[in-house]
A and B are shown apart, each in its own frame.
Chain A
Amino acid sequence: MGQDPLFLGHISLGVVLIVVVKVLVAFVALLVSVLLMIWFERKIISDMQNRIGPNRAGPYGILQTLADGIKLFFKEDLIPEKSDRFAFKLAPYLTVIPAFLIFTIVPIGGTVHIFGHVAQLQVADPPIGILFLLAMSSVAVYGTMLAGWSSGSKYPLLGSVRASAQMVSYEAAMGLSVAAVVLITGSLGTRDIVNSQMGSFFGIFPKWNIIRLGIVPFVIFVIAITAELNRPPFDLTEAEQELVGGFHTEYSSIRFALFFLAEFMNTISMSAVIVTLFLGGPDGPNLGGPAWIWPILWFLIKTGAFLFFYVWVRAALPRLRYDQLMDLGWKILIPISLAWLLLVGAMQVSKVYGFVLFVVFLIGGSVLYRAVSIGRDNDSDVETITTFTRIKFNDETSIEGSNEGDN
Chain B
Amino acid sequence: MAPYLPIVIMLGLGMLFAAGSFIGSGLLAPKKPTNAKSAPYECGIVPQREPVARFPVRFYLIAMIFIIFDIEIIFLYPFAVVFHQLGSFGLSEMVVFAVVVFVSFVYLISNGALDWGPVKRYGIQEPYPQRTTTSTIRRVASGEEAA
A380 interfacial contact with B, CB 8 Å: yes
A300 interfacial contact with B, CB 8 Å: no
Contacts of A27 in B (CB 8 A): 10, 13-14, 17
A200 interfacial contact with B, CB 8 Å: no
Whether A179 contacts B124 in the complex (CB less than 8 A), given A257-B21, A342-B91, comes out as no
CA distance A183 to B10 in the complex (A): 29
Contacts of A153 in B (CB 8 A): 40-42, 47, 51
Bin chain B's interface residue count: 35 or more
Residue in chain B with minimal CB distance to A371:
B110
Q: Are B81 and A23 in contact (CB under 8 A)?
A: no
Q: Are A250 and B55 in contact (CB under 8 A)?
A: no
B106 interfacial contact with A, CB 8 Å: yes
Contacts of B110 in A (CB 8 A): 370-372, 374-375, 378
Question: What is the minimal beta-carbon distance from B39 to any residue of chain A, in angstroms?
Answer: 7
Contacts of A249 in B (CB 8 A): 41
Whether A104 contacts B7 in the complex (CB less than 8 A), given A97-B15, A326-B116, A375-B115, comes out as yes
Q: Are B10 and A104 in contact (CB under 8 A)?
A: yes
Q: Are A402 and B18 in contact (CB under 8 A)?
A: no
Residue in chain B with minimal CB distance to A383:
B123
Question: What is the minimal beta-carbon distance from B90 to any residue of chain A, in angstroms?
Answer: 8
Q: Is the interface of A mostly helix, strand, loop or mixed?
A: helix
Residue in chain A with minimal CB distance to B123:
A386
Q: Are B10 and A385 in contact (CB under 8 A)?
A: no
B26 interfacial contact with A, CB 8 Å: yes
Segment touching B, from A55-63, A79-87, A226-234: A79-87
Contacts of B31 in A (CB 8 A): 76-77
Interface string of B80-98 (1 = CB under 8 A from A): 1111100110010011001
Contacts of A402 in B (CB 8 A): 118-119
9 A-B pairs with the lowest CB-CB distances in the bound complex, closest first? A405-B118, A386-B123, A323-B116, A153-B40, A7-B2, A254-B25, A100-B14, A183-B80, A402-B119
